[in-house]
Amino acid sequence: MNAREALGRYGEDLAARRLAEAGMTILERNWRCGRSGEIDIVARDGNTLVVCEVKTRRGGGYQHPMAAVTPEKAARLRALAEHWIHAHGGAPPGGVRVDLIGVLLPHRGAPTVEHARGVA
CA distance linking residue 26 with residue 20, whole number of Å: 7
Average pLDDT per 10 consecutive residues for the chain, totaling 120 residues: 87 96 96 90 96 87 71 89 92 91 89 89
Look at residue 52 in the predicted model and tell me its pLDDT. 95
What is the CATH architecture assignment of 3-116?
A: 3-Layer(aba) Sandwich (3.40)
Give the start-to-end residue ranges of the domains of the chain.
3-116
CA distance linking residue 116 with residue 120, whole number of Å: 10
Look at residue 18 in the predicted model and tell me its pLDDT. 96
Look at residue 101 in the predicted model and tell me its pLDDT. 94
Against a cut of 0.85, is the pTM above it?
yes
Look at residue 53 in the predicted model and tell me its pLDDT. 94
Q: In what order do the strands lie in the sheet with 96-105?
A: 25-33, 37-45, 48-58, 96-105, 112-116
Look at residue 9 in the predicted model and tell me its pLDDT. 93
